Homo-oligomer: A and B are copies of this chain.
Amino acid sequence: MSSPAKSAPVIYLDYAATTPVDPRVAEVMIECLRPEGPHGNPSSMGHEPGRRARALVEKARQQVAASIGARPECIVWTSGATESDNLAILGVARFHADRGRHVITARTEHKAVLDAFKQLEKEGFEVTWLKPGVDGIVRPEQVRDALRSDTQLVSLMHVNNETGVIQDVAGVGAICRERGVAFHVDAAQSAGKLPLNVEAMNVDLLSLTAHKSYGPKGVGALYVRRRPPLGLKPLFHGGGQELGLRSGTLPTHQIVGMGEAFEIGERDRESDVARIAVLRERLWQGLTAIGGVELNGHPSERVAGVLNVCFHDVEGESLRFALRELAVSSGSACSSGSDEASYVLRALGRSDQLAQSSIRFSLGRFTTADDVDRAIAIVSREVARLRALTPTADSNGT
């Protein structure tokens, strides 16, 4: 593993990959881990240590439910959005397979959604893969046009993890509700960034994860509409926790952390967003000043924290290596090992080369103006340095 040559601490601008745990969240988690904490098994309702843990789990359920306008009994705890996405998509499709085998999603979804749909293809389902416009947006009419009498499920993410582009999920939700088709939304990137309301958005299933919103990694939730009840098959089987939808011992400290993170996220949402939007704008001004940069995705339908930018006339791998003092990313964290160009940017019509020379800067609660200014300085310096070495277009005509 190569480490940065310079020993200055890296500037963390990868909040969309994962966030640090907010100290207020860490505090409540740490209390749970102490000897005098609620160490019982939340399923052990026969004794006090168990009931104490259970009470905390239920409080967190209310916190998370409140943050999305849902009733607490609609929240199922999972290990994260990957599991939530799979539980929602595989769960509903498999449960209702005899009612129809057509399902709809978009090409720019997270892998957890894409790969769940690919699995459904293997199981004999037909998938319509919607292509967004160059702005990254899937229009509700595209969904309406794709619906068939045997369509059973539509899945569309709220906020794209690579570009920050916001989809009109409420518009799609209204269409699905009208047609009686189950609607799943991957909202892993939304909590604390946008208002979320499952009723107003007509959402039947909503995936959440704690670690993109200053909570711990390894815990998430799936909202499942209960009225009228939506049948779904569990991914795995056992103790029958979470009304049989998700067996396994409930991790009290993780759930408590997620509850706290979501409560804080909603309470501080407006001030966080306002502050981050200013920093994002400052970053964008600094980057455009370099010249030869372009924004990936819709210019305004986007969350405050994410800026995905392509740099003309610099090769991707060199650019990433040159910027190693910055913790930024190209594509999603899970594909960060690979050299492949982002499939999301390709779907937006970017060439392989421009997709590879794109960088996602994502800002968050602990980003400072100084971080941004130092980042601008580094990017400006390194892009200029690399471009100075890039052969110009007329090189061939010597």
Question: Residues of A with Cβ closer than 8 Å to B?
Answer: 1, 3-4, 10, 12, 14, 17-21, 23, 26, 29-30, 33-35, 37, 39-41, 43-51, 55, 79-83, 85-87, 90, 110-112, 115-116, 118-119, 209, 211, 216-219, 235-241, 247-254, 320, 324, 326-330, 332-337, 366
Do residues B111 and A254 form an inter-chain contact, with CB atoms below 8 A? no
Contact pick for A112, options B4, B49, B238, CB 8 Å? B238
A112 to B239, CA, bound (A): 6
Given contacts A3-B51, A211-B249, contact A46 B336 (CB under 8 A): yes
Interchain residue pairs A-B with the least CB separation, the first 3: A218-B251, A239-B334, A112-B238
Nearest residue (CB) in B for A22 is: B35
Contact pick for A249, options B18, B40, B241, B251, CB 8 Å? B18
Chain A interface main SS type: loop
Do residues A41 and B23 form an inter-chain contact, with CB atoms below 8 A? no
Nearest residue (CB) in B for A17 is: B41
Do residues B110 and A336 form an inter-chain contact, with CB atoms below 8 A? no
Nearest residue (CB) in B for A326 is: B47
Nearest residue (CB) in B for A247 is: B82
Contact pick for A251, options B4, B10, B112, B217, CB 8 Å? B217
Residues in B whose Cβ lies below 8 Å from that of A46: 320, 324, 329-330, 336
A78 nearest CB across to chain B (Å): 8
A246 nearest CB across to chain B (Å): 9
Contact pick for A333, options B4, B50, B90, CB 8 Å? B50
Contact pick for A334, options B29, B236, B241, CB 8 Å? B241
A126 nearest CB across to chain B (Å): 18
By CB atoms of chain B within 10 A, which of A40, A236, A247, A337 has the most?
Answer: A236
A138 nearest CB across to chain B (Å): 20
Given contacts A112-B248, A239-B333, 8 further A-B contacts (CB under 8 A): A14-B47, A23-B34, A26-B33, A48-B327, A110-B238, A111-B238, A115-B238, A218-B250
Residues in B whose Cβ lies below 8 Å from that of A112: 236-239, 247-248
Can you list 29 contacts pairing A with B, beta carbon distance less than 8 Å? A1-B45, A3-B48, A4-B48, A10-B48, A12-B49, A14-B41, A14-B44, A17-B43, A18-B41, A18-B44, A41-B333, A43-B334, A47-B326, A79-B251, A82-B248, A82-B249, A86-B237, A116-B236, A209-B249, A217-B249, A217-B252, A217-B253, A218-B253, A219-B251, A235-B236, A238-B334, A239-B332, A239-B333, A239-B334
A7 nearest CB across to chain B (Å): 10
Residues in B whose Cβ lies below 8 Å from that of A18: 39-41, 44, 249
Residues in B whose Cβ lies below 8 Å from that of A30: 26, 30, 33
Nearest residue (CB) in B for A366 is: B35
A146 nearest CB across to chain B (Å): 22
Contact pick for A327, options B20, B40, B320, B366, CB 8 Å? B40
Do residues B44 and A247 form an inter-chain contact, with CB atoms below 8 A? no
By CB atoms of chain B within 10 A, which of A3, A17, A219, A366 has the most?
Answer: A17
Do residues A337 and B48 form an inter-chain contact, with CB atoms below 8 A? no
A237 to B209, CA, bound (A): 16
